[in-house]
Structure 1
Amino acid sequence: MTPSGDRPRKPFWILPVIVFSQFAGTSIWFSGNAVLTELVQAGSAGSSLSGWITGAVQIGFITGTLVFAFFSISDRFSPRLVFLLCTVAGALFNLSIIIACTSLVTLLLLRFAAGFFLAGIYPVGMKIAAGWYEKGLGNALGFLIGALVLGTAFPHLLKGGFSALSWQAVMAVSSGVCLFGGLLMALLVPDGPYLKTAPVFDPRALTALFRRRLLRAAALGYFGHMWELYTLWAFVPVFLGAYASQNPDVFLNLPVWSFAIIGIGSLGCIVGGMLSIRHGSAVVAAVQLAVSGLCCLLSPLIFALSPQLFLSLMLLWGITVVGDSPQFSAMVARTAPGELVGSALTLVNCIGFSITVVSLAVVQWLATAVPLQYLLMVLAVGPAAGLIAMRPLSRNKK
């Protein structure tokens, strides 16, 4: 600890390296979705399985988060070394799809394993940042979640921006980037001066979640947000493909536009964080949730729009669908009992990611019976429920 008033100096590269490493480490999250068409042709997956592939990663992430929290992995060991080892393991399981994926079951197991080790990348990256930022942590976390968004979108850019790359090359590059991010973190970011040891997961957080009105409102708002978020991300390429098939005279580079629509969400995270300083997290989250919910309801109508308007609205959807995420985390942290903040965040994140699995399964099932242009309307249920649940927060200006 440093003496009072003697603030430790941070090397200028700390935040850029943490942000880049977070981006790099999460680049394996959607790598399977980016090359889904090629996996189908290679016989490793059936058609229209984007939801199942994403769901396997989500289940792995949920499992990993609970295991890491229960055993206090990032408290018992240096977070940056945990980050490094998880990027190594995640990259290896991602790379294994090239040589070991001979069936759908194997593919899903490998994606589950990648998701498990993402639990040592995404949340642990947040803890590393918290070790360096006592003040300004909210701004730092806004950049980190923005990096997560870009990382999930990165494989789409690889596929669309370098059309000569095979699906094997996309998987190899995303794995290499993931590993490189872990090495940078381990070499250039030592444990910070504000690094704190958090208590092990406390089951009392479950009781607090249902008994404390404002915490319950923040959690339910987050759950509504999660119902929409990852399902939209998983189906963006499918949705763009449906528009292109209905407008054969329009050329769309589907992977590049998928990257743009998912990746632009980082702008929503960063700008939303800045606006929350003036207007409050509840207002910023509610506005973004309302706009993204409206996009869900209007999604069938935008198929009749010109390419310019269609893509503009899809970009707006991409900004708002994830821009509220940092604000929900902030509200959960502020409304939870002080001694249960870590456990409450873990519990809310686990439930939220579990909801994404249900949402993905529902939309995947509907895809067999509902025309694609109507498919994403069901996602509006989440934002609507979230906005209703958030009303106590708006009244209390949390």
Structure 2
Amino acid sequence: MNQTKVLIFIVLAQFFCTSVWFASNSVMPALMAAYSFPDQAMGWLTSAVQLGFICGTLFYAFFNLADRHSPSRVFFVSALLAALSNSAVLLLSPEIVLFTVFRFFVGFFLAGIYPVGMKIAADYFEKGLGRSLGFLVGALVLGTALPHLLRSLLIELPWQAVFVSTSVLCLIGGLLILVFVPDGPFRRPGSGVNFQHTLRVFKIPAFREAAIGYFGHMWELYTFWALVPAILAMQRVEPYQVSILSFVIIAIGAGACVLAGLSSQRWGSGNVARLSLMVSALCCLVSPFVLLYAPTFIGYLFLAVWGTFVIADSPMFSKLVASSAIPELKGSALTLVNCLGFALTIFSIQLLDFLKSSYALPYLLPLLAIGPVVGLLMGPKYSNLERKQK
């Protein structure tokens, strides 16, 4: 199949399927008002998805599912189960525990969508992988932001409309992969289950450095995304404005991912990733001054810049991880790195969620700089990554 068509279908599928990721975040005020959820509900439900993703990635990596079986079929089954888990909340009694459980299963089956989608792309694009992953992660960003847009468009409808629409989109995304994207020409089927064998990839210096850079990036990313509505609420805007502005601030990163992928072909993935880490670290550090003392429109512009660079390095790290992994373990290696990266997001989300009950949110945002700084100090360097790939 033509590579351009394959990329289009993968991007659309990722966009549709990842829309279930932040479905609960986009309607959190409505959930809290309708069911008297506690103030910590945002942190609990977001962390439940992240924890589910971690457990899911461990499961997928332990059984080498994306390497031992058809990645396209694994993607479809995962999308089907994620859609069912996402829509299950419509049939539940309004209890925070049940919501949390099914958000966990949404994250669990997303482990067969996001990293497996990258595996499928890697099986089609040995050359230009950075550019392809730029489009792919851009689709993830748009999918993550989509529930906020849907909420702003469906503001007059019950919150359940967001869960219905995202579940339908997730199922459509799975069908797109199953029907239109067969296994790629560069796929190398893996062997039996051997988790210790998969861990061997961390002995490769280039892989280890790329993974550390990715971990630093993840410490900041999902906590920032989860807090965007709360940051905007501090600006005293209307609820529908919070939804649409949250969509814009998160979705702007999609274009950044595409641009990063294109730029990497000239400047190198490591260099693009480091630039993105530097800018996002700076945004973390200066955020209290901008959000508390700058005019409102400057604050919006600042958040748009932050939303741009907080994600632009993601496809670069994924490309470096995929390129430096053992070929027959590529799918499991991508999944395992995703797992460890998302484990960090739970710590950062819960840390800020706990502290914001005692401190003003803007003063806590510099803590997110810890990740990018570690990524800059211990992550990929041009000399030992880019030269090997040229």
Q: What TM-score results when the alignment is normalised by the length of structure 2?
A: 0.91
Alignment check: 8 A CA contact 2:252 2:308 kept: yes
Contact 2:64 2:332 in 1 (8 A): no
Superposed structure 1 runs of 4+ greater than 6 Å apart: none
One-letter identity of the residue aligned with 1:359: S
Instruction: State the alpha-carbon separation in 1 of the partners of residues 89 and 265 from structure 2.
Output: 44
Q: Distance in 2 between matches of 1:111 and 1:326?
A: 25
Q: CA RMSD in A?
A: 2.3
Distance of aligned partners of 1:171 and 1:128 in 2 relative to their CA distance in 1, 3 Å threshold: same
Match of 1:236 among 223, 228, 232: 228
2:19 equivalent in structure 1: 27
Corresponding residue of 1:3: none
Secondary structure of the structure 2 residue equivalent to 1:171: helix
CA drift at 1:251: 8.8
2:321 is aligned with 1:328: no
Structure 2: stretches of 5+ with no match in the other structure? none
Q: Report the 3-state secondary structure (helix = DSSP H, G, I; strand = E; otherwise coil) of the residue aligned with 2:156.
A: coil
> What secondary structure sits across from 1:164 in the alignment?
coil
Q: Normalising by structure 1, report the TM-score.
A: 0.89
Q: Please point out which of 248, 258, 262 is paired with 1:270.
A: 258
CA distance in 2, matches of 1:219, 1:252: 38
Q: Which runs of 5+ in 1 are unaligned?
A: 1-8
Corresponding residue for 1:314? 303
Residue 196 (structure 2) aligns with = 203
Aligned-pair identity (%): 46
Match of 1:121 among 107, 113, 117: 113
Change (3 A) 1:251 1:87: closer
Q: Deviations over 1:316-369 (max 9, x none)?
A: 101100100111122233445566555543332221111111111111111111
Q: 1:136 to 1:92 in 2, by over 3 A?
A: same
Q: Residues 242 and 372 of structure 1 are in contact (CA less than 8 Å); yes or no, is this contact kept in structure 2? A: no
Amino acid in structure 2 at the alignment position of 1:259: F
Matches within 5 A, 1:1-398: 9-10=1-2, 13-43=5-35, 45-199=37-191, 200=193, 202-204=195-197, 206=199, 209=202, 212-244=204-236, 253-303=241-291, 304-336=293-325, 341-390=330-379, 393-396=381-384, 398=386
Is the CA contact (8 Å cut-off) linking 1:25 and 1:177 kept in structure 2?
Answer: yes
Cα distance in 2 between the residues matched to 1:74 and 1:329: 16
User: Cα 1:225–1:101, aligned 2, differ >3 Å: closer, same or farther?
Assistant: farther
Q: Aligned partners of 2:215, 2:141: CA distance in 1, in Å?
A: 18
Alignment partners' CA distance in 2, 1:228 and 1:368: 20
| Count of aligned positions | 384
Deviations 1:230-266 (A, max 9, x none): 000111101111122xxx7x89700111111111111
Give the drift of 1:123.
1.7
Choose 129-138 or 21-30, whichever is displaced more.
129-138
**1:364-393 CA distances to partner (integer Å, 9 max, x unpaired)?**
111111112212121111111221113x61
Retained in 2: the 8 A contact 1:94–1:114? yes
1:102 match: secondary structure? coil
